[in-house]
Amino acid sequence: MLNKGGNPVLDRKEAVERFTKVVEPILTNQGFIKLKGNSQIMVNPQTNSAVIVTSAPSQVRMYGDLKSKIRVLSKSYGVKDLFILYTREYSEWKDKEVYVSTMKRIMTIGRVKGVGSGIKNIIDFVNSVNKNESFWIGLN
């Protein structure tokens, strides 16, 4: 479903549904554990990896926030490799140029190993995470 025209309440509702109905069950089946609270961060203690799930790279502060989250995940959970899944399809992104620029900047963070976009790419995303590959999926 397309973005509701920038309506944060509806956008958030759809993002939570994508996470709880699709992403969380698939990652749980792969050994990931959801962090407590409203978090959409899942950690796999066997592989020392984590997946941060969000709708799209639209937050201006995302780069700095992500660096902070990585430090906490590394210290608290022993996370060595981080993967990011944007659940909204690339074709639905409103400002592709800005979003892709944000993502390229995110990929320069040392522990970020892969980035994927879109629920339709979830199987490729999970396969690449399981192989601990560096990747850029669904971003075209």
pTM, two decimal places: 0.85
C-alpha span between 18 and 46 (Å, rounded) = 25
Residue 12 confidence (pLDDT): 74
For residues 85 and 106, the answer to whether their CB atoms sit within 8 Å is no
Write the DSSP string, 80-124. Answer: -EEEEEE-S-GGG-S-HHHHHHHHHHHTTSTTEEEEEE-GGGHHH
Residue 1 confidence (pLDDT): 41
Domain locations along the chain: 8-137
Token duo for residue 123: 């199987």
Tens of pLDDT along the chain (140 residues) come to 444 445 555 677 888 888 999 999 999 999 999 998 878 999 999 999 999 998 877 665 677 888 888 999 999 999 999 999 988 888 887 777 877 788 788 888 888 899 998 899 999 999 999 999 988 887 76
C-alpha span between 40 and 132 (Å, rounded) = 20
